[in-house]
Structure 1
């Protein structure tokens, strides 16, 4: 039996390991909540917003994120790869996503705005039409990704091998071109 919550606001709560199991949230807002101890199982979030929340190290196996926005959240070392892949839609603004894992996910149209994404893993992901706006992608893993029409124009510190990724019509700034030819050890001045 799944518990259903609709149009609720949750403020300044610290959740326990299994407090969210088998629950469904629709049009709910979570503000200044701590999810670091959570082990999410069978949870669905639809049209929800998380603001100033901490998910660092949370286990989010078998969670459905359907049109979910994270604003000013800490999402350190979270593995999204085991999420429900049906209608997977998430957006991040002003978040710290260092060491998060998004491998094997279809993330078409996702937006990452002003995020720290150090050592994030996008291996085998579909990043078509993804917006990376002003993001630090230092040591981010792009391997066998589809990043067609992705926008990297204002992001920095990335290294993407065009021979191991599909980047047709992706956008880059002149300064960002260095991240595309890094493996060739070229010296680019300008």
Structure 2
């Protein structure tokens, strides 16, 4: 296992990442798509304009990691290393990503796209979805207590199938909570 700290990467190969611990590193413009990063750890790192589309991140540790304008389409987060899993994302594409059963307490997502993303049985307690598109995102058996959906849009969440105690919604967002009742709201 290799340990790399305080380094900036603009290109990095697949073989350089597997089974490596990165601490305090910055990755900018890296194409990390369709690769297998099993056993890798990122601690206090930043990713800017990186492509993770379709990457396998099983048992990857993300500890206090920030992502800016990154593509995570079709990525399965359900098998990441759950110990101290702390991330924040701004301007990221998470379409068709999977967060099944993952605990994401107090995570902040800003200006992100979650089209058809799977949040089944995830713990979203205190998560902030700031100006996020949640079109066709799946919320079933999700814990969304105190979750902030105030500025998000296009979500459909069944209050009978999810925990929403003290979750925050805008008045216009109430439509997404009542969709299953086929009501006419004017």
Where on the TM-score scale, by shorter chain, does this alignment land: which range?
over 0.9
Partner of residue 108 from structure 2, selected from 108, 111, 114: 111
2:49 equivalent in structure 1: 52
For the residue of structure 1 that corresponds to 2:173, the secondary structure is helix
Decide whether the 8 Å contact of 1:19 with 1:38 is kept in 2.
no
2:143 equivalent in structure 1: 146
Q: How much does 1:14 deviate?
A: 5.0
Partner of residue 182 from structure 2, selected from 176, 179, 185: 185
Instruction: Give the number of equivalent residue pairs.
Output: 186
1:35 equivalent in structure 2: 32
For the residue of structure 1 that corresponds to 2:99, the secondary structure is coil
Q: How much does 1:101 deviate?
A: 0.5
Mapping 1:70-109, distance limit 5 Å: 70-109=67-106
1:6 equivalent in structure 2: 5
1:135 equivalent in structure 2: 132
Task: In structure 2, list runs of 5 or more residues that go unmatched.
Answer: none
For the residue of structure 2 that corresponds to 1:182, the secondary structure is helix
Q: How much does 1:187 deviate?
A: 1.0
Decide whether the 8 Å contact of 1:67 with 1:90 is kept in 2.
yes
Distance 1:73 1:60 in 2: 15
CA RMSD of aligned residues (A): 0.9
For the residue of structure 1 that corresponds to 2:83, the secondary structure is coil
Determine if the alignment matches structure 1 residue 68 to structure 2 residue 65: yes
Q: How much does 1:41 deviate?
A: 1.0
Task: In structure 1, list runs of 5 or more residues that go unmatched.
Answer: none
Distance 1:52 1:24 in 2: 21
1:166 equivalent in structure 2: 163
* Misfit runs of 4+, over 3 Å: none
For the residue of structure 1 that corresponds to 2:22, the secondary structure is strand
2:13 equivalent in structure 1: 15
